[in-house]
Chain A
Amino acid sequence: MGLKSYVKKNAYYDSVVLMQVTKELKKSEDINEVIVGMGTALNKELAGNLGLLTDEVKATTQNDFFVSLDGEDTVDMDEVLNKITELLNKKKTSGDEDYRPATLKSALKVMPEANLALFSIPGEYAYEEVKKALDENLHVMLFSDNVTMDEEKKLKDYAKEKGLLMMGPDCGTAIINHTPLAFANVIKPGNIGIVGAAGTGTQEVSVLIDKFGGGTSQVIGTGGRDLKEQIGGTMMLMGFEALEADDETEVIVLISKPPHESIAKKILERVKECKKPVVVDFIGGDTEMIKSYGAHACISLEDAAQKAVALAKGNTPEDFTGFSMDEGAVDEMVEKEVQKYRNTQKYVRGLYTGGTLADEAMMVLTESLKAVYSNKPKSPEFKLEDVFKSRENTIIDLGEDEFTLGKPHPMIDPSARVERMKQEGSDENVAVVLMDMVLGYGSHEDPAGEMIESVKEAKDSMASKGGHLTVVASVCGTEGDPQDLKATEQKLKDAGVILMPSNAQAVKFVDKIMKRIS
């Protein structure tokens, strides 16, 4: 048996260090008995009872620290002791650098100047916790969903009373004071302000603004349900007013799925009074109505970005309907793909991680294809019976609940899409797979890297049957994002993916292919 002890006179270690020492000692099963403590009479008595009272421990007094342990012959006691002394003498122990308060109140003690609380806690607890933050006059971003509509209304009304931002629930994207929050990209600073009720829609517009040479002042999220009748567009209006009063903002962009008509009117009435130019994208909504209030309507998220940048530069915005490259060249690309298909290949499968981007795809493709199945279809007759099995033309939003129960969102963990890609590739009726690739903070560190194996596998599978699988994607990311944009694009191209500069163009390209096939 090996009995060893370590004593340090007049030594005081804090609980973090002692916990690490205890943890280290518990690692080895061959350590039979151990005592860690100060040399008080009772601790020494305990050491004695455990057979751990060495002479040096006996000689300690209550302000001396000791460790005494007994282990099997298999344990190198000297090594164990070395590890312990190392831990005790380590200047910085990891994890104790940042104090982690247990509650919001104590966080405010640490940072009394805090001005925003970002919540990503389970939805069932969100209402109570968020209310506390609003009570403390903090602006709030609530990433969580599973908050009732009633709770959302109460929180937003309370926030409005206090003049505070209440971004969410279900708000995934915001960029405040040029700081990306939750899932957001790094966008060049500029004079375009955005209020978005659609997460990846906001990301796409902000990314394209950056791409077209513009920049953002503030990007405010409202959460997906803000423009529903029950909520009434409270946050969109508050955000809008703040941007109107903001000196840095010269152009305002509003993004949302088509709101309830009365809400749309309410928003547009307010927009009408605004002296700054306003671009309104009610994705697929009534463009004539928007124009009638003096705002600029949009045909796609990309179009919204183009118009915003044009206005920001003091130019006249024009509809952007086509492609960045020469249409003739696009048609050639279409032809090249179509020629390689087997005659069984006739369908498109859209595998999306971003909800709004999936919506945009569905919007465009439904016009030509009519029947587009989905887990969240435009009309109920096209709801997939089994969301895990595509049917004919299908666009899926992998970020929806049915796919994320107990699993991280696909923007964080691409594995759900990896599996689905292989599945689609083995279906000989599929001609095209369409996908998004969202970068920025919050997203996986290398989403392209995670996908390329399955892309290649899917393509090979189709090739082995004598056909050809077209994979089309767009990357929603900027040079400033933590992922490497260039490397991402290159990886995808090397895997045979056709990259388009925006989701809108990717979808239009696919649309051309589908028209050619039929």
Chain B
Amino acid sequence: MSKINELFDSELKVINLGLESFSDDLKLQKKAVVHVEWRPVAGGNKKLSSILNQL
């Protein structure tokens, strides 16, 4: 069975990264969701990301 068909046969469990409203909507429907307070790499800061990029 393909992984996609396996998904169809399982309970949907979502990790949401980004818009909180998407998590809220899933919670409203009593669906399993974990919301990640996603922040960009290096806080979106150019100086920080330039350091990281050197690694």
A and B in contact, CB less than 8 Å: yes
Binding site for B on A (CB under 8 A): 98, 100-104, 107-108, 110-111, 113-122, 125, 128-129, 133, 137-139, 143-144, 162-165, 176-177, 179-182, 218, 238-239, 241-242, 245-246, 248, 412, 441-442, 482
A46 vs B36: C-alpha distance when bound (angstroms): 38
Q: By the criterion CB–CB under 8 Å, are A116 and B17 in contact?
A: no
Q: List 5 A-B contacts (CB under 8 A).
A: A104-B15, A111-B32, A111-B34, A118-B16, A242-B4
Contacts of A180 in B (CB 8 A): 25, 29
User: Which residues of B1-54 are within 8 A (CB) of A?
Assistant: 1-5, 7-8, 10-19, 21-22, 25-26, 28-29, 31-32, 34-41
Q: By the criterion CB–CB under 8 Å, are A102 and B36 in contact?
A: yes
Q: By the criterion CB–CB under 8 Å, are B2 and A242 in contact?
A: yes
Q: By the criterion CB–CB under 8 Å, are A114 and B41 in contact?
A: no
Contacts of B35 in A (CB 8 A): 98, 100
Q: By the criterion CB–CB under 8 Å, are A113 and B13 in contact?
A: yes
Q: By the criterion CB–CB under 8 Å, are B11 and A182 in contact?
A: no
Give the one of B10, B15, B32, B41 with max A CB within 10 A.
B15
A486 vs B19: C-alpha distance when bound (angstroms): 29
Chain B, Cβ-Cβ closest to A138: B15
Interface size on B, residues (CB 8 A): 33
Contacts of B22 in A (CB 8 A): 118, 120, 143, 181-182, 442
Contacts of A101 in B (CB 8 A): 34, 36-37
A248 vs B17: C-alpha distance when bound (angstroms): 30
Contacts of B1 in A (CB 8 A): 245
Q: By the criterion CB–CB under 8 Å, are A176 and B7 in contact?
A: yes
Contacts of B5 in A (CB 8 A): 242, 245-246
Q: By the criterion CB–CB under 8 Å, are A108 and B15 in contact?
A: yes
Q: By the criterion CB–CB under 8 Å, are B13 and A218 in contact?
A: no
A66 vs B17: C-alpha distance when bound (angstroms): 38
From A103, A137, A138, A162, B36 is in contact (CB under 8 Å) with A103
Contacts of B17 in A (CB 8 A): 104, 107, 117-121, 129
Contacts of A103 in B (CB 8 A): 36
Contacts of B15 in A (CB 8 A): 104, 107-108, 111, 114, 116-118, 133, 138
A246 CB to closest chain B CB (Å) equals: 6
Q: By the criterion CB–CB under 8 Å, are B4 and A177 in contact?
A: no
Contacts of A107 in B (CB 8 A): 15, 17, 34, 36
A163 vs B39: C-alpha distance when bound (angstroms): 28
From known contacts A100-B36, A102-B37, A121-B40, infer whether A238 and B25 are also in contact, taking CB-CB under 8 Å: no
Chain B, Cβ-Cβ closest to A113: B13
From B2, B18, B26, B41, A179 is in contact (CB under 8 Å) with B26
A108 vs B14: C-alpha distance when bound (angstroms): 10
Contacts of A162 in B (CB 8 A): 3
Nearest 10 interchain pairs by C-beta: A120-B18, A242-B4, A163-B3, A120-B19, A121-B18, A441-B25, A177-B12, A107-B15, A114-B13, A100-B37
